[in-house]
Amino acid sequence: MAYSVLYFVVVGLVLILGLLLGYFARQILANQQLRGAQTEAKKLLEEATVKHEDMLAKAREEAVKVRQAAEADSRERRYELQRLERRFNQKEERLDRKLESVERREQSLAAREKEVEDINVQLEEIRSKQLHQLELVSGMSSEDAKQQLLQAVELEIGEEASRRVREWEERIKDEVDGKAREILATTIQRCATDVVSETTVSVVPLPSDDMKGRLIGREGRNIRALEQATGVDLIIDDTPEAVTISSFDSVRREVARVALNNLILDGRIHPARIEEVVERAKSEVEATIRNEGEQAARQAGVQGLHQELIKLLGRLKFRTSYGQNVLTHSLEVMHLAGMLAAEIGFDVGQAKKAGLLHDIGKAVDHEVEGPHATIGADLVRQWDKSPEIAQAIEEHHGEANTTSALGFIIATADAISGSRLGARRESIEQYLKRIEALENVADGFPGVEKAFAIQAGREVRILVKPEQVDDLGAMRLARDIVKKIEETLDYPGQIKVTVMRETRAVDYAK
């Protein structure tokens, strides 16, 4: 029992002692922290004091600099104001002097005006007296003299105006003709196209004359079967080792040529075989037509052209016009139209497309009624949906009034291609008729002495009677003849009309 009490007493004392020791330890630690905080605060206060003094010193220096700059600026401004004030005073003095000078001049002018008025009054009196004396001497009033003078002046001005108008017309015509010749010459020079004249017959060579009998067959059944299947005429005459295929439809003629060549190579010639070979030849020609159309469109750089138009383009490969292959002609017109468009700053792609399709109506003109230009325009409107291209196609042969720039380009390119020497075949009778008609048009005008068509009908020279036609009349006559030719004649390209007036004075020394 006593041991337990003693144990508790000792434990209590130890606890009290621990509490006292912890209290004193916390006090000591707190005092140390307080002293450290005081030391740190004193250090921060000293640093802040130093920084504050530095900032104050810098602020004083900056203030001194600002004040010095302000004083310098103020001095400069005062100097500038003084300088401006001196200049203002000088200008004011000069203005005062000028004002005095102007006042003196005004006074002098007023005096001179008065003198001039007096002189004018005197001159008017003198002029009235002289006019009265002139009227008495001439026996004509001033109004009559004025009218006579005005008539003389009007006549002189009219002659001068006519002369100047003629000079301007000649100058403008020379400039326009020169520019047109330059553009056309450049275009034609850049387009070097082969000129080939085609006919409506094809000649197929035979390996021997014995093949003619096999082609004719027993009682002519083979040749009848071939003509019936192809729609052409086979001419087997005395020409050695050759058969002539005749047809105005070039596609049928090509089918017959391909079929006949295949039959000759195969050697089996009878009606059933002929029908089979002709069908195969039609397929080959259709493929050729498609390839030719695609190649033409690719050569022209035309993208997205409808398949029907491509097929019609290919058919032009087997179509001729005056002996000229229409597809070759269309490609040539395409190149010419593109170069003309480039020369005048027009859309080259659109011009090439219109040039390529301008004769597309000739592919079906034997199936559809109407001129080929109108047919081609309708086809383009149907398959291509290009109103500008269709309008140019319709205008290029005069079926519609040519109003668009593209229509003029296509018409010009078509005329260049068709009028090149050797491009188209023309009989001597037609040529002579055209020359005679050209001379007759010129001979039908009064005052014409002689007319000569030269340069294959591309120029007509007219000699006029000088006593009936003067210089101005010669110009009017040239315009009238040109207009009559355009209205009454059909011709490729253009015709130059030259009117010549010659006056000769002849005398003899005896």
Q: What DSSP element (H or E) covers 106?
A: helix 2-138
Residue type at 25 in one-letter notation: A
> Given a cut of 60, is residue 426 above it in pLDDT?
no
Please give the structure tokens belonging to residue 320.
Answer: 């001729």
The percentage of residues in the chain with a pLDDT greater than 70, rounded to a whole number, is 86
Please give the structure tokens belonging to residue 105.
Answer: 């001049």
- Average pLDDT of the residues in 4-24: 80
pLDDT of the residue at 181: 58
> Given a cut of 70, is residue 398 above it in pLDDT?
no
Out of 22-26, 91-95, 143-147, 498-502, pick the least confident.
Answer: 143-147
CATH of the domain spanning 428-501, picked from 3.90.226.10, 3.30.300.30, 3.30.200.20, 3.40.50.261: 3.30.300.30
Instruction: Say how far apart CA 236 and CA 254 lie, in whole Å.
Output: 17
Strand segments (E) across 111-229 = 201-205
Q: What DSSP element (H or E) covers 246?
A: strand 242-246
Mean pLDDT of the chain: 79
pLDDT of the residue at 306: 81
Query: What distance lies between CA 233 and its chain's CA centroid?
Result: 49
Rg (C-alpha) for the chain, rounded Å, is: 54
Burial of 361 (0-12, 13-18, 19+ CB in 10 A): buried
Please give the structure tokens belonging to residue 128.
Answer: 């009235």
Instruction: Say how far apart CA 193 and CA 416 lie, in whole Å.
Output: 12
Please give the structure tokens belonging to residue 371.
Answer: 């001129």
Instruction: Say how far apart CA 357 and CA 195 lie, in whole Å.
Output: 20
**pLDDT 10s digits, 319-347:** 777 667 788 888 888 888 888 888 788 88
Out of 105-109, 198-202, 320-324, 463-467, pick the least confident.
Answer: 198-202
Secondary structure of 434-465 in HEC code, one letter for each residue: HHHHHHHHHHCCCCEEEEEEECCCCEEEEEEC
> Given a cut of 50, is residue 28 above it in pLDDT?
yes
Q: Which residues of 381-420 are buried (b: 16+ CB within 10 A; e: fewer)?
A: bebbebebbbbbbbbbbebbebebbbbbbbbbbbbbbbeb
Out of 200-204, 211-215, 221-225, pick the least confident.
Answer: 200-204
**pLDDT 10s digits, 67-105:** 888 888 888 888 888 888 888 888 888 888 888 888 888
Instruction: Say how far apart CA 419 and CA 494 lie, in whole Å.
Output: 9
pLDDT of the residue at 291: 85
Closest residue by Cα to residue 313 from 325, 324, 323, 322: 325
pLDDT of the residue at 197: 42
> Given a cut of 60, is residue 424 above it in pLDDT?
no
> Given a cut of 80, is residue 505 above it in pLDDT?
no
Q: At what angle do helices 405-419 and 387-395 cross, to 10 degrees?
A: 50
pLDDT of the residue at 194: 47
Instruction: Say how far apart CA 312 and CA 379 lie, in whole Å.
Output: 10
Burial of 145 (0-12, 13-18, 19+ CB in 10 A): middle
Please give the structure tokens belonging to residue 398.
Answer: 């005069």
pLDDT of the residue at 195: 44
Instruction: Say how far apart CA 326 and CA 313 lie, in whole Å.
Output: 9
pLDDT of the residue at 241: 73
**pLDDT 10s digits, 264-278:** 887 788 888 888 888
Q: Are 322 and 165 within 8 A, CB to CB?
A: no
pLDDT of the residue at 183: 63
**pLDDT 10s digits, 148-193:** 777 777 777 877 777 777 778 777 876 766 666 566 555 554 554 5
Question: Left (φ > 0), alpha (ψ -120 to 50) or beta: where does 397 sit?
Answer: alpha
Whether this model's pTM surpasses 0.85: no
Q: What DSSP element (H or E) covers 365?
A: none
Residue type at 461 in one-letter notation: R
Handedness of CA 42, 48, 49, 50 (dihedral sign): positive
- Average pLDDT of the residues in 413-427: 63
Instruction: Say how far apart CA 489 and CA 23 lie, in whole Å.
Output: 139
- Average pLDDT of the residues in 41-61: 84
> Given a cut of 60, is residue 427 above it in pLDDT?
no
Burial of 230 (0-12, 13-18, 19+ CB in 10 A): buried
Q: At what angle do helices 326-344 and 348-357 cross, to 10 degrees?
A: 160
Instruction: Say how far apart CA 270 and CA 428 lie, in whole Å.
Output: 44
Residue type at 374 in one-letter notation: T
